[in-house]
């Protein structure tokens, strides 16, 4: 068994049933993605449109590509024809653009509402209040080609486990709130994407259903 396969197995053993692993392959070569694929991994996360477009054609067609990085509106139409899920729907404008591009290709694209839970300004996402206002407005109901599947958030980059835990719990609580208020009968609205290589165990404890793990599988990135 190669090192990538061993790492995937190690991570999967720590995940309870119902929690899915998104192997974050950004900045890692195609060969390593193939090793992960050969070990049975099918969900991969990329955060740069150009990199995803260069990798997709040379890798197996049954890979589920999840887009996890900040997505510019002018790049949306390049990934909408094939992407399985966009974790980073962080504004009404972006959601409209995704809807328009998806309608043009006859698809419905699964999206997560990205919520800003960290104390770092550099991270993207709706604030809790902005997201409440957006859902309250009802404008999202007109987006027939977007499937709202849940929420995504990134914790502050810190060694303070208590802070990370409280940020994850705040996202879990927000998910429960908007699920009850806006998506009570919608079985698609079921995902909480939180947790990365250093904090995914805390995220799982707080209720994550999708963990985005990169360096723990592929090693440190080469930029």
Separation between Cα atoms, residue 119 and residue 122, nearest integer Å: 9
What is residue 123's predicted lDDT score, i.e. its pLDDT? Answer: 73
Instruction: Give pLDDT < 70 ranges for the chain.
Output: 221-223
Residue-wise over 145-177: b if at least 16 C-beta within 10 A, else e? bbbbbbbbbbbeeeeeeeebbebbbbbbebbee
3-state secondary structure of 110: strand
What is residue 121's predicted lDDT score, i.e. its pLDDT? Answer: 75
What is residue 220's predicted lDDT score, i.e. its pLDDT? Answer: 82
Rounded to two decimals, the pTM is 0.96
What is residue 124's predicted lDDT score, i.e. its pLDDT? Answer: 87
Q: Which CATH class is domain 3-218?
A: alpha beta
What is residue 115's predicted lDDT score, i.e. its pLDDT? Answer: 98
103-115: pLDDT as tens digits: 999 999 999 999 9
Domain ranges of the chain: 3-218
């Amino acid at each position: 068994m190669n090192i990538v396969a061993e790492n995937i197995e190690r991570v999967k053993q720590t995940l309870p049933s119902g929690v899915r692993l998104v192997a974050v392959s950004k900045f890692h070569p195609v060969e390593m993605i193939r090793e992960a694929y050969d070990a049975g991994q099918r969900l991969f996360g990329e955060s740069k449109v150009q990199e995803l477009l260069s990798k997709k054609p040379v890798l197996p067609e049954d890979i589920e590509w999840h887009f996890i990085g900040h997505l510019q509106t002018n790049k949306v139409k390049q990934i909408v024809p094939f992407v399985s899920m966009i974790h980073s729907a962080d504004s009404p404008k972006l959601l409209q653009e995704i809807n328009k591009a998806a309608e043009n290709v006859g698809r419905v694209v699964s999206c997560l509402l990205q919520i800003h839970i960290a104390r770092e300004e550099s991270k993207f996402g709706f604030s809790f209040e902005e997201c409440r206002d957006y859902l309250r407005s009802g404008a999202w109901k007109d987006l027939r080609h977007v499937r709202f599947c849940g929420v995504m958030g990134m914790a502050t980059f810190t060694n303070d486990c208590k802070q990370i835990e409280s940020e994850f719990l705040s996202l879990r609580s927000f998910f429960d709130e908007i699920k009850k208020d806006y998506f009570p009968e919608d079985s698609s609205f079921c995902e909480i994407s939180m947790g990365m290589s250093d904090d995914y165990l805390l995220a799982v404890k707080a209720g994550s259903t999708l963990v985005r793990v990169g360096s723990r599988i592929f090693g440190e990135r080469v930029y």
